[in-house]
Structure 1
Amino acid sequence: MNRRRHKKLSRRLVDAALVGDIGRVRAALRAGAPAGTTDTAGTTPLYLASVSGAADLVRVLLAAGAPPDTESGTGSEGTPLCGAACWGHTEAVRALLAHGADPNLREDHGTGWAPLDWASKGPHPETVELLVAAGARPGR
């Protein structure tokens, strides 16, 4: 795939994930958009789906090969699991863990909070229980 087409498909995938349009996400993936792509700011579609709690969209992206532990953005974003845990999106957390997301991976390239820190701060007790059952420990 040439660079221009890759960029266009990546943008289409990120835009579809941003608005939670699973049909457009599937279409972009079928057209060849890489599931682990980023936009110009480094934001991944998986992070967008995770932070918004779109568990079905999270599952589609993971099944298409999106890496579950890729950190998104620069500074104000983070890992998909931290994003989902922060807002108590238990089904998205469950999907990420089922696809191998590290329950102890801290944001900011290892210097920030872990998913359990975010869920505990929420507070989101159901998400905390799920993370603890997966072996999560506080990062701070």
Structure 2
Amino acid sequence: MNRRRRKKLAARLVHGATFGNADAVRAVLRAGADPDGADVHGTTPLYAASVHGAADIVQCLLEAGARPDLESRAETDGTPLCAAAAWGYAEVVRLLLAHGADPDLREDDGLGRSPLEWARAGGHAVTARLLLAAGAQDPEAERPPR
């Protein structure tokens, strides 16, 4: 497949993932799109689906081989797990963890927030509990008492 075709398929895949169109995502994957293929801005399909809480699309992409820890490189993007945790999408968090997402992987090449920090910042207790149950390190538990 030539470079131009790969770019077009990646753009269509990210668009379908962003707008929750599972049929379009499946069709583009069948056409040969790379499940990790980012659009021209650097957004990956799995990040786009995760930040919008589209569990059905997340499942589809993971089954197609999308890497759960691949960081999306657009200016405001990050990891799929951080995105889902930040918005409290518990079902998406469960799927990503079940497919091997690292509950401690920080965004911005390891310099940003962790999924647990995002979940807590958003007040998403259920999501925070899921991450802790998956082995996320709890910086609050490591603080000495005052």
TM-score normalised by the shorter chain: which range applies?
Answer: over 0.9
Identity %: 60
* Rounded Cα–Cα distance in structure 2 between residues aligned with 1:57 and 1:138: 30
SS in 1 for 2:57: helix
Larger Rg: 2
* Partner amino acid, structure 2, of 1:111: L
TM-score normalized with structure 1 length: 0.96
Unaligned regions of 5+ residues in structure 1, if any?
none
Unaligned regions of 5+ residues in structure 2, if any?
141-146
Q: Cα distance, 1:102 vs. partner?
A: 0.3
> How do 1:1-140 and structure 2 match up within 5 A?
1-138=1-138
Q: Cα distance, 1:75 vs. partner?
A: 3.6
Contact 2:46 2:58 in 1 (8 A): yes
* Rounded Cα–Cα distance in structure 2 between residues aligned with 1:14 and 1:26: 12
Contact 2:7 2:40 in 1 (8 A): no
Q: Cα distance, 1:73 vs. partner?
A: 2.3
Contact 1:116 1:139 in 2 (8 A): no
* Rounded Cα–Cα distance in structure 2 between residues aligned with 1:139 and 1:113: 12
Contact 2:50 2:84 in 1 (8 A): yes
| Runs of 4+ with deviation above 4 angstroms | none
Cα gap change, 1:132/1:44 in structure 2, threshold over 3 Å: closer, same or farther? Answer: same
* Rounded Cα–Cα distance in structure 2 between residues aligned with 1:113 and 1:119: 10
Q: Cα distance, 1:2 vs. partner?
A: 1.4
Contact 2:106 2:114 in 1 (8 A): yes
Give the root-mean-square deviation of aligned CA atoms.
1.3
Contact 2:132 2:138 in 1 (8 A): no
